[in-house]
Structure 1
Amino acid sequence: MTSSAAQYQGTSSDEDVSRRLLDSAAMLSYDPATEVDWESPLPADLYGLNPEWSTLYGTPLWDEMSEEQRVTLTRHEVCSIMSTGIWFEMILQQMVLRDQYAKNPGNPEFQFALTEIADECRHSIMFARACEKMGVPAYFPGRGTIELGRVFKTVASAEVAYGGILVAEEVLDVMQRDWMRGENVLPVVRTTSKIHVVEESRHMKFARQEIRERMEGVGATRRYTSSVAVAAGAYFIIKNLVNKGVYAAAGLDTERALDAVRRNEHHKSMLRSSCAHLMDFLAQSGLLTKPAISIYKSIDML
């Protein structure tokens, strides 16, 4: 038997996954303080995100906008998404800490959970600095959503907690894979997106494994309630990705812009495509019940 095989013999699949993720984190992690060029001026003609990911791209209103307005809008949109990311990363950290409270610190699962929290702290600071660099103020969800988030992070556990984490990370992952490759996207956004994609890939693997473990042998009632709770979390995340204040910041009429967003089939299609892999996993895990499907369809994730 090889030393590697001996190392993993007698451990659970959850421990195996966590140990491999710890090894990966040790080999490939980034320090945004040094990896991101925080000093160079921003090129005036580059977008905050790929235009195709703008909520107004493909609408008549987008065609009417000046290039300066398009650049401004995409910079505010990406900062709104980053701000929402910070908000949810605060929720995520508290849920993971609660889940690992008083567990064996020698367990690889415990150690990777703390590694993930450390990553999320750096990501939140990175996003905050990126928004400051772009000169965009923080965007926050509404007061009602903030309070619901407070409840969610307090009561969500097991597959609901990790399902909420996975939903937020999967949706952003697909977007950022495009942003990091976008030659017409600001370097600060491309680099922060690359860092987030690399490190969040480990977090998503961890969340999927935790969901698989927690869903083993669960009954129909728990599967039903958990599926709805995860979908409800997704609803508030998606609804708060792009704050309505971004349109006024670009010199647009807010109500007209919101109406264009509601009618924008291109953006809806982009969002559905970004969620395809996530929906497959939720279905395989037993977390895609009829009520959950209705919620996902209402926010164009299905």
Structure 2
Amino acid sequence: MATTGTATGRLGHTTADEDVSQRLLDSAAQLSYDPAVEIDWDAPLSPDHYGLNPEWSTLYGTRLWREMTHEQRITLTRHEVCSIMSTGIWFEMILQQMVLRDQYLKNHANAEFRFALTEIADECRHSIMFARACEKMGVPAYIPNRPVAEAARAFKTLAAGELAYGGILVAEEVLDVMQRDWMRGEDVLPIVRGTSRIHVVEESRHMKFARQEIRERLRGAGPVRRHNSALGTAIAAAVILSSMVNKQVYAAAGLNVERAVAEVKANPHRKAMMRTSSAHLIHFLGEAGLLTRPAVRIYQKLHMI
């Protein structure tokens, strides 16, 4: 199989890989957005619009949801979407460091190198966009707890190859499905619909890039490496998904936090929505050989399967 030259002499990088990266570069040149001008940041927020489709609220379908006032539901969904955006900012910062480290001293004549930097530039804009949206909604930053933050610090420092791109894909795939609904939600704030539309369009390229990188890194990988990568990706998924909605969003809506958390954990609708948002990811991981038994058990506990 023909290979393209790289500064590190990495084996397995093919002309087909270069073709994928070049197509992604062409797409980025034709279809990219500047959130600073694409979104009307000065428009007032309608008091009757949700932060996300009610069906995506963690409490939707529970007894507590039925007891809540319309105003509480509005407040909760706005805090939930900003918690998810905050998690997005946190993980995009991790992603940027992993991609930049992966491309260190690579051949900058390759399309793969140029698209990797294009992705980093996209992620910078996305983080600024999410931060600005949360500020507009008057919602504070929701930061992961200390143990999770330190675990992520170790992950971004040590993860490489398919494990790094697997973690990236988990965060992007799950959020993508959610945002495809948010961008169409007529009862969702226009600012959320706009940021979701931009993110969906540009992240579709990032997901293709991550899938291609995973396939490339796993060519010729033995069973031990696949087992370790599968388990590591599943653990990363557990950390990411458990951090998406901070429990303090319930306090912000005037709810009893302990009761809210308990109802979320037992909520069958929430579990079904998690399986829906994970379907494409799980299918790809199966194709890539990253659905080992230990990994599947973790995904089942997360209600992704």
TM-score for both structures, normalised by structure 2: 0.95
Residue number among 54, 65, 68 corresponding to 1:65 in the alignment = 68
State the shift of 1:11 in Å.
Answer: 6.0
Question: Structure 2 CA distance, aligned partners of 1:58 and 1:82?
Answer: 23
One-letter amino acid matched to 2:212: Q
Question: Structure 2 CA distance, aligned partners of 1:215 and 1:104?
Answer: 20
What residue in structure 2 maps to residue 157 of structure 1?
A: 160
What residue in structure 1 maps to residue 79 of structure 2?
A: 76
What residue in structure 1 maps to residue 88 of structure 2?
A: 85
1:63-212 correspondence to structure 2 within 5 Å: 63-212=66-215
Q: Deviations over 1:66-113 (max 9, x none)?
A: 000000000000000000000000000000001000011110000000
Residue number among 227, 251, 255 corresponding to 1:252 in the alignment = 255
Residue number among 283, 286, 297 corresponding to 1:294 in the alignment = 297
State the shift of 1:13 in Å.
Answer: 1.1
1:40 partnered with 2:30? no
One-letter amino acid matched to 2:82: C
State the shift of 1:239 in Å.
Answer: 0.2
State the shift of 1:250 in Å.
Answer: 0.1
Question: Structure 2 CA distance, aligned partners of 1:300 and 1:245?
Answer: 22
Question: Structure 2 CA distance, aligned partners of 1:166 and 1:256?
Answer: 32
What residue in structure 2 maps to residue 228 of structure 1?
A: 231
Question: Structure 2 CA distance, aligned partners of 1:237 and 1:231?
Answer: 10
Question: Structure 2 CA distance, aligned partners of 1:11 and 1:253?
Answer: 55
Q: After TM superposition, where is structure 1 displaced by more than 2 Å over at least 4 residues in a row? A: none
Q: Secondary structure at the match of 1:111?
A: helix
Q: Secondary structure at the match of 2:46?
A: coil
One-letter amino acid matched to 1:174: V
Q: Deviations over 1:272-292 (max 9, x none)?
A: 011111111001101010000
Q: Secondary structure at the match of 1:112?
A: helix
Question: Structure 1 CA distance, aligned partners of 2:228 and 2:254?
Answer: 43
Question: Structure 2 CA distance, aligned partners of 1:224 and 1:21?
Answer: 30
| Superposition CA RMSD, Å | 0.9
Unaligned runs of 5+ in 2: 1-12
Question: Structure 1 CA distance, aligned partners of 2:93 and 2:239?
Answer: 15
Q: Secondary structure at the match of 1:58?
A: coil
Question: Structure 1 CA distance, aligned partners of 2:37 and 2:17?
Answer: 33
Question: Structure 1 CA distance, aligned partners of 2:40 and 2:179?
Answer: 18
Residue number among 238, 242, 245 corresponding to 1:239 in the alignment = 242
Q: Deviations over 1:216-246 (max 9, x none)?
A: 1100000000000000000000000000000
